[in-house]
Structure 1
Amino acid sequence: MAGKILIIDDEKNMRHMLTALLEKEGYAVDTAASGGTGVKMAARALKLDAPYDFILLDVKMPGVDGISLLKDNRGTLTRSMVIMMSAYGTIDTAVSAMRHGAFDFISKPFKPDEVSLLLQRAAEHRDLKNENLYLKDQLGRMEGRFRFSSMVAKSDAMKSVFALARKAARYPTTVLIFGGSGTGKELIARGIHGESDRAQRPMVPVNCGGIPETLMESELFGHKKGAFTGAVCDKKGLFEEADGGTLFLDEIGELPLSMQVKLLRVLQEGEVRPVGDVRTRKIDVRVIAATSRNLREEVAKGAFREDLYFRLNVLSIALPPLAGRQEDIPLLCDHFLKTFNHKLGCQVSGVSPAAMKLLLAYPWPGNVRELENAMERSVVLTDRERIDPASLPSAITGSQPGHPVNGHFSPEGFSLKAAVRKLEGVMIRRALEETGGNRTQASKLLEISHPSLLSKMKLHHLR
């Protein structure tokens, strides 16, 4: 069988002609005489995990046009290769159709061969995309690692997370991501968006704890001019900004109870009403939420609505802490070193065994973000081919801030400016000791000018 096709067209003759043509070529064909019926059929097939391979969708239909139907039901229809059809086609219509997720556009009347060739091309495009995904996965397996978007791992815990995230990307289902600070919740959300059929539309991140409660409704849903003091013009909300794409609600547990009720309505109805407006606006937004809180406990305390919790928790992904997957630490170090070597123009080849021993023993309260910061800091500070304990933060080495580690200086904290400033003083002192206080020779060792050395000595209170 060549594949499953759904034809959505209000013209009976067109449905009959296409059915006869496509069944003759081996396709299994279903038809719908209206957009609403077609969407229900596509949704039913999707729920059974057997979506249509192709959908032929007419642009000009009673009630709602095909472009609007595609836009409002993007998550359902574009799981298939959608081909728009119209007798009134223009370049603008074709561009609009493809912007909203259609694979291609064909003008009526068309020859049978045109439809057949277009379907073959759509199938080739789909197969090529699937093959690329398969090859990426196989390459990762050969390298002993798994990759999802910009994330890498080899632990069984993260393999399970990546597999679940890939599955989530295939459907418009609401996702709730759990995990401590720095575990990569936003990276998983971006990966799900990037591998979904919404990838060409925006992903809009929102920190629910970073917006004042008085501005929250306006930020999310928009407002009309004059709705409140300072509303000098109409403003789109973040839900409308993300129309056709994904809205990432980070730290959803911080959302005030008053806004939880309004968010629940948006998720149920698929429409928003800007502040000060009397009309609602239809939106097509896939919501991914994340939290570092235990929402079940928040529900028990009355701080989070139970109905919103269940509405968000359709598919949950729990990110494990870095301390629980030590086998990922060497892989992540290698990944970050390559990133920062390219970004900073450095050539650090790896991590010394002594430094790696410290990294593996550290509990990583800041998770992957803390490891990333530590690697960036170390790439900046090390003067060796590999990262050694001297360039690691004192929290990891267990030394006192500002004291030597294995004969080298280890500044406190993660501030690169402070670390460079302290290291500069140490290097000047060492150069002066090496040259017996000869400032001219010391400036040559340090590869700076004599006046510059004098200025820096004054800054660091050296004589």
Structure 2
Amino acid sequence: MNNESEQIKDVQQVLIVDDEENMRHMLSALLSGEGYQVKTAADGQEAVNLLAKKSFAFVLCDIKMPKMDGLAFLKAANAIDHSATVIMMSAFGSVDTAIEAMKQGAYDFVSKPFKSDEVVLVLKKAEERERLRQENIRLQRKVVELEKKIGFGQMIGKSKAMQEVFTLADKVARHPTTVLITGESGTGKELVAAGIHAKSGRADQPFIAVNCGGVPENLLESEFFGYVRGAFTGAAQDKKGLFEEANKGTFFLDEIGELPLAMQVKLLRVLQEQEIRPIGSARRKKIDVRILAATARNVSEEVEQGRFREDLFYRLNVINIQVPPLRKRTGDIPLLCDYFIGKFIENLKLPDIQGVSKAAMQYLLAYPWPGNVRELENVLERAVILAEGEYIEPNNFPDAIYENSSDNTVDFLTGLSSIKEGKKKVEEQLIRQALAETEGNKSQAAQILEISYPSLLSKIKEYGVEGEQEGVGE
């Protein structure tokens, strides 16, 4: 019910409902001796009144009673907002009665006469069941909270940059505003669009996605707007376009920078008028479609070069969500690794792999990921297949990962001749990588580096790393 009821359940309050005074007295003495706090009621109606006023962990209720019997009590109790676990008792018990009691919400059934330890055992079992139920609820809440913190739709990320993306996307999802999603190829722009649709009021309507660069220019108009029978040779019947298929839902235009200028003019009219005209038709059709667009190009430069209409750009760019490249959020790499490895193990039916070794993770953190999350996913799929032990090792990665790491090592050691200076440079690089891996959590970074927390703080100050991490935690 509330915090008060949870506190009461911790002290194990029990309500005994039985019309026999001797039975109430015996059970009260027995359960008090076991550490329970006991209240009693002589019939079902008295028990309902008590249950409505006070919270109990358990109810021990007789079935055959005057005024209101046990089954009637169960029905009445179900109408009350209570969290008690109900256990029925009867000297007139039968299988049918027990089944009926269970159907109405009873946890268990005890037949009279019973031994004292039988009642205590049933209560202990009920306690364990309730403990597991509460633990399950807490875990579910934690999962929900964790998903809120690290994910949006099918995207995950705990970095400050991605949290800003998730927050903005969550805000705009509730409104029909046009959104332009920008970012390098492979960063997950379509996933952002799908997440916005899923959190919008159109979630139960179609989500239609099209790659503007993947449709031949001479087919774009018919694909977008459809056509009527006889509009051209081969048009044997009416065909809906993608805009009409997306009616009431969301139309996602991926790589909109690839759209030819002629089609840009037609798209602008759709945005302004909210209507389309199929090829060969003299009539326009009203549509209700939310437009989300994405591009890996710099649209401002495209406008300056005359390759993208300025008026369309402003119409699309009401809200701009910029998805950062993976190299700008390396702290998300360990999280993404866990997600992709789990997915591949399940999909490929491979033996369980515990994760990525520390040595292999250093390679992943150092690599610039020009293909972003999509490239990381491909690298990890290969690594999961090639891995021979419990952990993915560096030799499971493509040569490009090695070569980049070697180049980086040469670059930051170039010009050094002193072993002492080289040692400092290596330490600084490892500290930066560990802080990136832990999203600035110094305690976790110290564990990864296998040094003490005070030593890490000293080295952070010595190398000037202090202040460079966003949201540094302890």
Pick the TM interval, shorter chain: 0.5 to 0.7
Question: Runs of 4+ in structure 1 displaced over 4 angstroms?
Answer: 133-137
Which of these residues, 385, 388, 407, is aligned with residue 383 of structure 1? Answer: 388
* Aligned 8 A contact 2:384 2:392 in 1: yes
1:249 aligns to what SS in structure 2? Answer: strand
Structure 2 distance, partners of 1:181, 1:229, is 38
Match of 1:202 in 2: 206
2:177 aligns to what SS in structure 1? Answer: coil
1:150 matched to 2:116? The reply is no
Amino acid at match of 1:201: Q
- CA displacement at 1:324 relative to structure 2: 0.8
* Identical-pair percentage: 61
- CA displacement at 1:316 relative to structure 2: 0.7
Match of 1:218 in 2: 222
1:138 matched to 2:173? The reply is no
When normalised by structure 2's length, the TM-score is 0.54
Amino acid at match of 2:329: R
Match of 2:178 in 1: 174
Aligned pairs for 1:338-357 within 5 A: 338-346=342-350, 347-357=352-362
223-232 or 295-304: which moved more?
Answer: 223-232
1:163 matched to 2:170? The reply is no
Amino acid at match of 1:213: E
Amino acid at match of 2:358: P
Distance 1:170 1:136, change over 3 A: farther
Structure 1 distance, partners of 2:312, 2:271, is 9
* Runs of 5+ consecutive residues of structure 2 not aligned to the other structure: 1-139, 406-474
Match of 2:264 in 1: 260
Structure 2 distance, partners of 1:384, 1:178, is 39
* Aligned 8 A contact 1:137 1:146 in 2: no
- CA displacement at 1:140 relative to structure 2: 3.9
Which of these residues, 326, 332, 341, is aligned with residue 322 of structure 1? Answer: 326
Match of 1:460 in 2: none
Structure 2 distance, partners of 1:331, 1:139, is 12
Distance 1:134 1:180, change over 3 A: farther
Amino acid at match of 1:206: V
Distance 1:262 1:136, change over 3 A: farther
- CA displacement at 1:396 relative to structure 2: 0.8
Match of 2:363 in 1: 358
- CA displacement at 1:135 relative to structure 2: 7.2
Structure 2 distance, partners of 1:231, 1:358, is 55
Amino acid at match of 2:355: G
Match of 2:291 in 1: 287
* Aligned 8 A contact 2:202 2:249 in 1: yes
* Aligned 8 A contact 1:182 1:368 in 2: yes
1:373 matched to 2:378? The reply is yes
Distance 1:247 1:253, change over 3 A: same
Structure 2 distance, partners of 1:311, 1:276, is 27
Distance 1:134 1:284, change over 3 A: farther
Distance 1:383 1:399, change over 3 A: farther
Structure 2 distance, partners of 1:381, 1:194, is 36
* Aligned 8 A contact 2:229 2:238 in 1: yes
Structure 1 distance, partners of 2:404, 2:156, is 30
Provide the aligned length of Structure 1 versus Structure 2: 265
CA deviation string 1:221-253 (max 9, x = no partner): 001111112212110000001111110000000
- CA displacement at 1:139 relative to structure 2: 3.0
Which of these residues, 356, 377, 401, is aligned with residue 396 of structure 1? Answer: 401
CA deviation string 1:119-150 (max 9, x = no partner): xxxxxxxxxxxxxx997663347xxx511111
Match of 1:191 in 2: 195
1:335 aligns to what SS in structure 2? Answer: helix
Structure 1 distance, partners of 2:239, 2:141, is 43
Structure 2 distance, partners of 1:282, 1:250, is 23
Structure 2 distance, partners of 1:194, 1:135, is 22
* Aligned 8 A contact 1:220 1:239 in 2: yes
Distance 1:220 1:136, change over 3 A: farther
Structure 1 distance, partners of 2:163, 2:144, is 11
Structure 1 distance, partners of 2:385, 2:308, is 44
Which of these residues, 203, 215, 231, is aligned with residue 227 of structure 1? Answer: 231
2:337 aligns to what SS in structure 1? Answer: helix
CA deviation string 1:256-296 (max 9, x = no partner): 00000000000111111000000011111111000000111
- CA displacement at 1:181 relative to structure 2: 0.4
CA deviation string 1:179-214 (max 9, x = no partner): 000000000001001111111111111110011111
* Aligned 8 A contact 1:248 1:288 in 2: yes
2:192 aligns to what SS in structure 1? Answer: helix
CA deviation string 1:320-359 (max 9, x = no partner): 1100111010111011111111111221110001110100
CA deviation string 1:137-188 (max 9, x = no partner): 63347xxx51111111111000000000111111111110000000000000
* Aligned 8 A contact 2:227 2:239 in 1: yes
Distance 1:201 1:304, change over 3 A: same
Amino acid at match of 2:367: Y
When normalised by structure 1's length, the TM-score is 0.56
Distance 1:135 1:333, change over 3 A: closer
Structure 1 distance, partners of 2:143, 2:304, is 43
- CA displacement at 1:298 relative to structure 2: 0.6
2:162 aligns to what SS in structure 1? Answer: helix
Amino acid at match of 1:267: L
Higher CA-based Rg: 2
Structure 1 distance, partners of 2:144, 2:344, is 25
Structure 1 distance, partners of 2:147, 2:232, is 54
* Runs of 5+ consecutive residues of structure 1 not aligned to the other structure: 1-132, 401-463
Amino acid at match of 1:222: G
Structure 1 distance, partners of 2:330, 2:141, is 27
Which of these residues, 310, 323, 331, is aligned with residue 306 of structure 1? Answer: 310
* Aligned 8 A contact 1:137 1:147 in 2: no
- CA displacement at 1:394 relative to structure 2: 1.1
Cα RMSD after superposing both structures: 1.7
1:327 aligns to what SS in structure 2? Answer: helix
